[in-house]
Structure 1
Amino acid sequence: MPDSLAAGAAYARFAPNGTPDDMSLVVSPVGADTGLRIALQDLRLGRYYAARDLLEMTGREWGLRTSRSNLLAAGAGEPGIFKLWLDQEPNSPDAAMMWARVLTRAALKAHRSGMSEDVVGSAARLAAKAGWRASELLPECPVPWVDKILLAQLPYPAHMLDPRARHRRMPWDELPGGRDQGMPHLGPWPLLGEVDARHPGNRGGYHAMRQYFQRVRSTGAAMDFSCWMVLSEPSNPELWLLPVYALVDKFRTEYENDGGATERFWQTGVVGHYAVQAYNEWFAQLPPAEYPWVSMADFSHLAHALVANGETRMAADVLRAMGPYVTAQPWKDVNTILGRSKDWTDGFLTLRASTLRRWPLTTPTT
């Protein structure tokens, strides 16, 4: 179990009087990663130097490289800043990777916004080409392959994203062993295999695969994949969160257009099982010193599932680890679907304060 006092260190900094009501609220996926926050601020001012330094410092910490590059691409503002960087440093693996990341996001955005097939196809080709260049410059990096899994969501044959497709076993999109391994769904398994070959259990790669099943197959397929993964006891503890994310997607799909949505969904044994499992197998093993580099989205999803299922003691531990930070999801969508107040942050602040008061720092954790 995490040391409750250590887990509450960040919380205490923002609550000088020791009361939950004093803690501020910062809605941000960045959390306490100061270097990432500075790099994002720099990008929004049209400068890439801090991002370049951050990625250089991140080095071959592949998991952190994947998550930081994703947030840099998402929060940069004007994506052309990465093209400027690449033009200035054409042989930079970091610049090439970031340009591929923003082009991948642009292709997905074009598809989801209903742009023409020609526009989406052109965007996809540009993203794939940039990804191949990034792989050439740093072959051992998993990030370009994570992007290929994301591009597999587009309405084109996914094997076209795989330069080694001709040399692989067929059918290309069937998991070796298929039904014998308990996973019958077709998907871009060779692309995930390339990610695993470079960084086994890469969080970004497996969430990209979950998103593929959710968007291309079905909510049920995404749930099957996520549950199948944790049954195999993943080497990366972060992957214990996969079913929690899949449950949020299931809730959205089943209740988004249903005015009779209730909270009973979150009070079921299925939610409780996967939330407590993720707490025990991931969060409880996590050294507090690593909290600043943990995905704030992971913290938020776990805290939400625990508190919604009535596991408030465990939720209090996670909320303290989050400090003043939170991501809008899943709180915002769940709040909207359940027909609560328009400002989800009001409900979150009330919930956080009541949970932390009920389980103060002095409460022993067993």
Structure 2
Amino acid sequence: MSALNHVRVVEIAEAVAGEYCGKLLADFGAEVIKIERPGSGSPTRAMGPFLDDEPGAERSGLFAYLNTNKRSVALDLGDAAGRETLGALLAKADVLIDDHAPGWLAEMGLDAQALAEKFPQLIACSITPFGQSAPPERRHATDLTVMQASGWGYHTPSGADPDKPPLKGAGRFLPSYEGGLDGAMCVAAALFGREERGTFIDISMQETLASRVDYVLAQMVAGEMDVGEERTRFDLGGPAGIFPCRDGFVYIFASAPTHWEAIKTLTGNPEWAQAYPDNWLERGLSPERIAQVRGAIVEWLKGEGKDEAAEKAQALGLTLVPLNNADDLERSPQLAHRGYFEEVAHSVLGTRRYPGVPYRMSATPAVLDRAAPMLGEHDALLDEGANA
């Protein structure tokens, strides 16, 4: 048995954040009924990558990943009959997931107050870029907007060039995935506290991502670091950064005496390095020293593969990690050992390897036992709602 068996979720979300939240709940055993637009389905069905690069409602790899273990019903929420059927489904549900812009729920007659009055047993979770109380100009923000507003555009990578356009961050939808993860955890917590039904969870993706900006933001809040609008404000300085190696790139973070000892060892203990104070990364930074150390690192990495370099550096206590692409992850011995990728059979896409869940619960594990549904595959569930 999975952790969330006997929990029923109605998902009216139509973007990555809400669908990822629903996926996590579904993979841990919840029955997730996904409401989709008749004819076209969720907008994520029109987002690639596509099988053989041919767009199609059942050919999207993104939709397939985000909607494992769910059930799909086609229901037009734009008319009164559709909303009435939705209400009947909600009357028998434990959780509602939404990620439309603020104001949309109210237009559907499903704002927080209405939900509490009509469905007091329901836990509702809304995931939006800046939360339900966002001003109008922020209600339709994108992941790029959220990435910059959270501080990560300044913090990634160390020493970002202020003369270049804003960075979009890792992947396409990092804020959405993080917001969806927080939404799923909040829903699980609310389910655990069964006596607290009628809960409305308001997730701001910007707040979620800002909470991940490690100790730099904390130092600013505590008054230990100056706050400013310059993109370099988050840069701690030093030789940290992305470096080329024999077969790709690595990222190095260095800020402590132990890191400096490791760098000296890896670069062959050059004579000039002996004149540097042990704590220079903390209290003795200068452009000349940074340039000299970065040059030595570049020379060392010319003959190193990224995995070899990571193994050597980490053995010495230096934070050095390879910059992996999708092929690297698929071949990763660590992910293979953990059984991270799982095969799922889909009637159109075929049998494919899917990323699993990056954490395991021994007694109630997540299970990918059903591919994403065809559009309207489970419309029979609507009869249950109509006859409720």
TM-score range, shorter chain: under 0.3
- TM-score of the aligned structures, taking structure 1 as reference length: 0.25
Larger helix proportion, structure 1 or 2? 1
| Larger-Rg structure | 2
- TM-score of the aligned structures, taking structure 2 as reference length: 0.24
